[in-house]
Amino acid sequence: MDKIKLNQMQFYGYHGLFPEENKLGQRFLVDLVLFMDLTKAGMSDNMIDSINYGQVYDRVQKVVEGKAKNLIESVAEDIANELLTSFDLLQACTVNLTKPDAPIPGHIQSVSIEIYREKKK
């Protein structure tokens, strides 16, 4: 399966279990792998045969900067659902959501989750 990757998209959101996270917000990083057949796009050189990266970014931004969730797992599910329902050519996606400033007492670079979802047939 062919892949389109969008790496290290940065957004500011209000997700988390702690009141400070919901009030102050924090950075979130999103990496995507979009699975689809890119043969036709490669042959035609026409955007209609691919997925517009700008539109993908806009949809992810809408989710991450939208309604606050307790868990980043839920945010990742919303991203995957948004993408799979918005783009007909998309067959599956991997969403990696990173919380670089997670409020953990100790030294940690980041916390992240990764999910893989396929379009329902």
118 C-beta neighbours (distance < 10 Å), count = 12
- Bridge partners, 32 (sequence order): 6, 95
Active site residue 99: yes
CB-CB contact of 80 with 57 (8 Å): no
Q: What is the DSSP letter of 100?
A: T
Residue tagged active-site, from 23, 40, 99, 120: 99
Place of tokens 């796009």: 41
Q: Any idea which residues carry the catalytic annotation?
A: 99
